[in-house]
Amino acid sequence: MNIFSTIWLLPLFTFIFVNDILPIEATHHVYRNLQSSDDSTDQLYRTAYHFQPPKNWINDPNGPLIYKGLYHLFYQYNPKGAVWGNIVWAHSISTDLVNWTPLDPAIFPSQPSDVNGCWSGSATILHGNKPAILYTGINKFNHQVQNIAYPKNLNDPFLREWIKSPKNPLMEPTIENKINASSFRDPTTGWLGKDGHWRILVGSKRNTRGVAILYKSKDFINWNKSKHPLHSAKGTGMWECPDFFPVLKIGKFGVDTSSNNDDVRHVLKVSLDDKKHDYYLIGSYNEGKDKFTPDHGFEEVSSEHVLRYDYGKYYASKTFFDYGKNRRILLGWVNESSSVADDIKKGWSGIHTIPRAIWLHKSGKQLVQWPVLELEKLRLNHVNLPAKVLKGGELLQINGITAAQADVEISFEVNNIRDAEVLDKWTDPQILCSQSSSRKNGLGPFGLLVFASKGLKEFTSVFFRIFKHQQKPLVLFCSDQSRSSLNKDNDLTTYGTFIDVDVLREKLSLRSLIDHSVVESFGGEGRASITARVYPTLAINDKALLYAFNNGTAGVKITSLNAWSMKKAQLNGKL
């Protein structure tokens, strides 16, 4: 995989000049004339169980935490419109990560150190079960600085009110520390070393070198910048929303962010602003030297070793340790693929993925992600089809569920790769995927057609294709949106990746969470995920059809097929 080969849709930076002082270097487009909302909400593409507020723009999940049995989700939110701007920390709570209740925004501009915006950050649970939030403030000079906020009342499980420290900012760019004032943001959750010092990372860049700046503190208030960053990589550009956490070498349980012993490996995730994708590295963390050594670094950009959480539309993710259920949960932002004009017309923009449990795969080479089990409470109308061989060219309709609001799991068995097409040299999977949808000679494409209209004028295909590479099977996993909508103003990019499944020894599974304008898919039992936004014009609501398909020439056996309608979640429920 070459991380520099992905298609770019948005310019990297927007520079705004405010009061002719200093530019804010923002990572999102700024539409200055569109910062207020009209209330014309077109509800067609609103999600039924993927998180979104009633209206307006949302982006990064911020500071997720569990406190007194309640989950807290904060997120970047524009209270005034469907495009990025006026950013505050909106706040919702949940008992199950599926149904949410909104509260008033928790953090909004109010101090000189955040008067021009409250950008992304993270929560840390300090000694005595006291949450603290570190976030990036945009100060009156439009410099990026790091601030802290605490709950006003620890007896309130809703943590409704947050108080900012008069000591803010706690970290700021100075002439001495040579930090670039417009590339210094998104503090991580803190972890406590055996020396009793807290550590956090702040995302940055030096020229084009992406950097995770390390800060240390005894009291979480007075912070010292370490001489060396925890990690950096040339040519990767600005590192946004870093996340650094341990994972158990064996098993699916999560561990506290401060855990560091022989049982764990460490993961560094960065959101590459230049690519708008989330990449992660697995490696070893030497706490004494405060150094992270990845097994495979960003230098290997042309290899398959640089991994992504999601190979579709997905960014600015963050994990937290859910000590109630001993799991690490991953949350991520999914932007729209529609035009800004359409977003304004519909009155909203941005959703979050279903929270995913995340752990290290038994190979040690990659992470596995799986939607939280609580989601299954929404399943109804179970349809189960008996095992059957899907012949080359066959289309099998899956009836009995609401296909526009569904959860589908299908597994395939492949006994030999005799008929698989030979792939001599490594090719970008995204390119292979975009060449794959039509009828092919060989093993696949096979998978699901979702949001399919009658007569197949519209459909999104999520599928596998199996190649023979160096005499071994090589599995391609794709989500093709090129035929998803008659509205050609949408971004119709095809997404894809190779997936490490030994198809001759294990089943090849696919799960797709289908929700009106999103298809969140997991291949190989969570070894790869692809999230796509689609806006069908014909295949909407009860006009959407669902099929299993095989467009290769060789037959392929479906070993199990389970599908459910999904109930609507309470995304904005009342207290």
- Assess contact for 190 and 148: CB atoms under 8 A: no
Using omega within 30 degrees of 0 as the cis cutoff, is the peptide bond preceding 445 cis?
yes
Please report how close the Cβ of residue 163 comes to ligand DQQ at its closest, in angstroms: 21
Please report how close the Cβ of residue 248 comes to ligand DQQ at its closest, in angstroms: 29
| Closer of 271 and 529 to ligand DQQ (Cβ) | 271
- Distance in angstroms (rounded) separating the CA atoms of residues 451 and 482: 12
In sign, the C-alpha dihedral spanning 141, 143, 146, 151 is positive
Please report how close the Cβ of residue 546 comes to ligand DQQ at its closest, in angstroms: 33
Beta bridge partners of 90: 75
**Helix or strand run (H / E) with residue 450:** strand 443-452
Please report how close the Cβ of residue 245 comes to ligand DQQ at its closest, in angstroms: 18
Distance (Å) of CA 418 to CA 390, 394, 426, 458, 502: 17, 20, 20, 33, 15
| Closer of 149 and 566 to ligand DQQ (Cβ) | 149
- Distance in angstroms (rounded) separating the CA atoms of residues 180 and 171: 13
Please report how close the Cβ of residue 160 comes to ligand DQQ at its closest, in angstroms: 22
Among residues 42, 60, 295, 491, which one is catalytic? 60
Instruction: Mark 179-196 as b/e (b = at least 16 C-beta within 10 Å).
Output: bbbbbbbbbbbbbbeeee
DSSP letter, residue 486: S
Concerning whether 156 is annotated as a catalytic residue, the answer is no
| Closer of 184 and 446 to ligand DQQ (Cβ) | 184
- Footprint on this chain of ligand DQQ (rule: CB under 6 A): 27-28, 59-60, 76, 87, 119-120, 136, 185-186, 240-241, 271, 315-316
Please report how close the Cβ of residue 12 comes to ligand DQQ at its closest, in angstroms: 12
| Closer of 28 and 197 to ligand DQQ (Cβ) | 28
DSSP letter, residue 210: E
- Assess contact for 102 and 91: CB atoms under 8 A: yes
Residue nearest to ligand DQQ (CB): 119
CA 244 and chain centroid, separation: 15
> What proportions of the chain, in percent to the nearest 5, are helix, strand and coil?
5, 45, 50
Residue type, 125: I
| Closer of 269 and 516 to ligand DQQ (Cβ) | 269
Q: What is the token pair recorded at 401? A: 């569920």
| Closer of 29 and 543 to ligand DQQ (Cβ) | 29
Task: Please give the positions annotated as active site.
Answer: 60
